[in-house]
Amino acid sequence: MKRILGTLIIAAVLLGGLARAADWPTRPITFLQPYGPGTNLDSITRFLAERMGAEYKVPIVVENKAGANGVIGTEMAARMPGDGYTFLFTGPGHFTNEVLMGKVPFDPIKDFKPVARLASVMLVLVVPKNSPLNSVRDIVEFAKKNPGKLSYASAGSGSAQHLSAAGFSATTGASLLHVPYKTQAQALTDTIGGQVDLTFAALTTAAAQLRAGNLRAIAVTGPRRSQSLPDLPTVAESGYPGYEFFSFNAVFVPAATPDEIVRKFSDSLAVLVKSPRFVELSRIQGFESDFADSTAWAAAIIPERKKWADLIKTSGAKLE
């Protein structure tokens, strides 16, 4: 009798979850980002929010909650109810902060369910318009002759900008001084003003300033040239084979979110990222479409976590 009762209870819970998923969504959804506006991630998030809001017929609010290289916003997402009304749009900081900081107020695996990987993002190495540095070799040679004299801006310790530059230093032997900021936009502003010598920026963040002539692009960090900047060499092509850096944009939900909602949302994303408008966005913004659905992204999570931990150890990146 106890076994039958237990089975009935489990069935009722499962059916209740399915019923909730079938009705979902019935009220506004929040797309939470743990970084500031103006980034590649922000562009993708807002693009998807507009179209998914129309599909689901509910408002979708995009909320930027920057701070502590994404820890503040990520912790907020981890503490939200697992009811399918909060989605975390994030990047590598989801995995790197625990290594750099030693301890974070959430578990990047246990406190979240993976929904999808949306894109891979190469960065572009930029300098102020009047910089005497015209190539990757110029930067490396100057940095070797003048250790610690060349500074680079980032969106904070553990950010993609920080890790790409740390990897650059490890590969080329260039000694660079790290100047962390709270957001990519702030880092770029001081690069334009010449307060720092260079930065590795998402093309989305740097594009307008490149067009205006306030910055000069030196190279991209990917294993191949960017479709948006086809004439710009990679760092590897510039004489430093073995260097490459790709960031990622991905979606997570609080761990208690029903699997059926996760699958439904992931399926919607799969359709949108194949649309001509998303393909055009990727060309304009300079990211690479690299979609993985909830099943594929879940299978990649443990290796992805290890990859970023290994990158930090190899590059020597430290919390500053």
Domain locations in the chain as residue ranges: 25-120+247-315, 122-220
Reported as a pLDDT band with limits 50, 70 and 90, residue 223 is confident
More confident residue, 103 or 314: 103
**What are the phi and psi torsion angles at 179 (to 5°)?**
-120, 100
pLDDT reading at 6 higher than 90: no
C-alpha 37, offset from chain centre: 12
pLDDT at 3: 57
CA angle 22, 301, 103 (to 5 degrees): 110
pLDDT tier at 8, thresholds 50, 70, 90: very low
Q: Do domains 25-120+247-315 and 122-220 have the same CATH topology?
A: yes
Look up residue 217 and give its two tokens: 């692009």
What is the amino acid identity at position 287? F
**Residue of 232, 5, 249 whose CA lies nearest to 116:** 249
Do you know the residue count of the chain? 320
Instruction: Supply 299's token pair.
Output: 């299978």
Q: For 25-46, what is the mean pLDDT? A: 93
Other CB atoms within a 10 A radius of the CB of residue 267 amount to: 12
Using a pLDDT cut of 90, give the percent of the chain over it: 69
pLDDT of residue 200: 96
What kind of architecture, by CATH, is found in domain 122-220? 3-Layer(aba) Sandwich (3.40)
- Confidence grade of residue 218 (pLDDT, cut at 50, 70, 90): very high
CATH match for 25-120+247-315 among 3.20.20.150, 3.40.50.300, 3.40.190.150, 3.30.300.30: 3.40.190.150
Residue pointed to by tokens 């998914």: 52
Burial 122-145 (b: 16+ CB within 10 A, else e): bbbbbbbeebebeebeebbebbee
The CA–CA distances, whole Å, from 68 to 89, 182, 283, 316 equal: 16, 8, 30, 20
Reply yes or no on whether the pLDDT at 318 is more than 90.
no
CA atoms within 13 A on the CB side of 314: 14
pLDDT of the residue at 182: 82
